[in-house]
Structure 1
């Protein structure tokens, strides 16, 4: 009986310690978010005047009014949305086709091409940044949105094509062959049969392709010049860089609005995303 009580006491102490640790971790994660939300709804322009205790001050949408009146935030948001959406559609279309071709068809130089795609991913993107800048300059694509879309979509092809190939390898060949028997072409079988079977991975690819350029800073900072062409990352950075300290609460409002597309997309694709991460595709 005594041993049982001692064991119960040890378990209780362990549970209490684990609970304390988890609570501390949750506070460390949620406090910056709560502080940002609180600062964005503050009527004070100075971050120093805001309370370290979130939601202690009077609720106000003044910073959101300043954000859209005193900056080109709407244009930055629209530019970033156009770039991210375009990159998402191009990447999903091209990489899905490439992955399926590499998975199901044999042709000359197939393996060397696949190996070269892997080798390309071994080098950091910074190495080719100057060459990419020169190419965009020659194409008159500097300070343009389509120039960024071109760079993002082409740069994502090697890795994402391999990603899709690996998933297509897990899908049984029988379903496509059954479509061939019914008179479908290879493209028709791909669209009508294989794509629905690969829906979780395609949604995962769409989400990652959208989020990749959404808050990228380095390359837009290098390419874009005029204020109307800037993306969210560049615009928000310059909002608080080298200026008076009365833009930080407005910056908090802009940073909070950045999360809206992420939340919307992940809520819509949560089920398919979990299926993709759990690798629920069929195997031969």
Structure 2
């Protein structure tokens, strides 16, 4: 009886801690959502729920700012980076998983070491390189950097997933006359759908909300992405459009949130399958 009481007490404490952590995590997001519907332009409020609700900030966002342009720029960069980054990830992880070649272990070690350093450490070198190539203030510069970085950060998850696919499937396909390309595109890619969903979501999310590198590369108003444009909106000394910024932040979160909810099942499958075998 005492053992059951102790177990119940531990579970209660665990659930209480989880509830507190959830509330602490959700409070800032809920505050921004409520502020986006509040009358006025100040984030300060004596009540959590506004006394009056308005959609004026969302209307002004599309009528009086370059928000639609920023949104399309961000969507273009994130989509292209996801496509190219996922393709590079597929090729590299499949080769590392299935083939034994000179320098394979050194390649894996190098990729592991690169993941230990934050990406902004290389920003000055990347900036100089892009300036030499004439790619500054270009969306293609972001796509190239995001795509290559996505391969480095997700290669071990993808490799782990390919390791779980039996090689007997490939042997049977080769016996039936399938070429390497036919094997890769007709068998391996369809079987990799959970992992591709996970990797694609991670790449898309990272590109959609990135600020530091986009702010370093993009210079003109027409080229800015959402994160850079919204920051410039409130970073000026005489700017007081904080509720307008809150409305933009809410709209930024919606596409990624909807994707996560829609593809949640594949996201969990891809994450767990890629972690079963290294």
The answer to whether the 8 Å contact 1:179/1:189 transfers is: yes
* Residue number in structure 2 paired with 1:211: 205
Distance 1:163 1:128 in 2: 23
* Residue number in structure 2 paired with 1:228: 222
Match of 1:34 among 14, 30, 33: 30
Match of 1:264 among 255, 258, 263: 258
Q: Return 5+ residue gaps in structure 2 as ranges.
A: none
Q: How does 1:108-257 map to 2 (within 5 A)?
A: 108-244=102-238, 246-257=240-251
Q: Secondary structure at the match of 1:256?
A: helix
The answer to whether the 8 Å contact 2:233/2:241 transfers is: yes
Would you say 1:53 and 2:48 are equivalent positions?
yes
Would you say 1:276 and 2:270 are equivalent positions?
yes
Q: Secondary structure at the match of 2:121?
A: coil
TM-superposed CA distance for 1:113, in Å, is: 3.3
Distance 1:171 1:26 in 2: 37
Distance 1:20 1:164 in 2: 36
- C-alpha spacing 1:178/1:227, structure 2 compared with 1 (3 Å): same
**Farther-moved stretch of structure 1 (99-108 vs 183-192):** 99-108
TM-superposed CA distance for 1:9, in Å, is: 8.8
Distance 2:35 2:136 in 1: 36
- C-alpha spacing 1:179/1:122, structure 2 compared with 1 (3 Å): same
The answer to whether the 8 Å contact 1:44/1:249 transfers is: yes
Distance 2:170 2:87 in 1: 19
**Farther-moved stretch of structure 1 (59-68 vs 12-21):** 12-21
- C-alpha spacing 1:43/1:190, structure 2 compared with 1 (3 Å): same
Distance 1:117 1:97 in 2: 15
Distance 2:23 2:111 in 1: 43
TM-superposed CA distance for 1:33, in Å, is: 2.4
- C-alpha spacing 1:15/1:276, structure 2 compared with 1 (3 Å): closer
Q: Secondary structure at the match of 1:128?
A: helix
Spell out, residue by residue over 1:169-199, the C-alpha distance to the aligned partner (whole angstroms, 9 max, x if none). Answer: 1111011111112221111111111122222
The answer to whether the 8 Å contact 1:43/1:58 transfers is: yes
- C-alpha spacing 1:277/1:108, structure 2 compared with 1 (3 Å): closer
* Residue number in structure 2 paired with 1:84: 78
TM-superposed CA distance for 1:282, in Å, is: 8.8
**Farther-moved stretch of structure 1 (164-173 vs 22-31):** 22-31
Q: TM-score, normalised by structure 1?
A: 0.86
Distance 1:96 1:229 in 2: 30
- State the number of aligned residues: 277
The answer to whether the 8 Å contact 2:158/2:274 transfers is: no
The answer to whether the 8 Å contact 1:37/1:256 transfers is: yes
Q: Secondary structure at the match of 1:209?
A: helix
Distance 2:11 2:104 in 1: 56
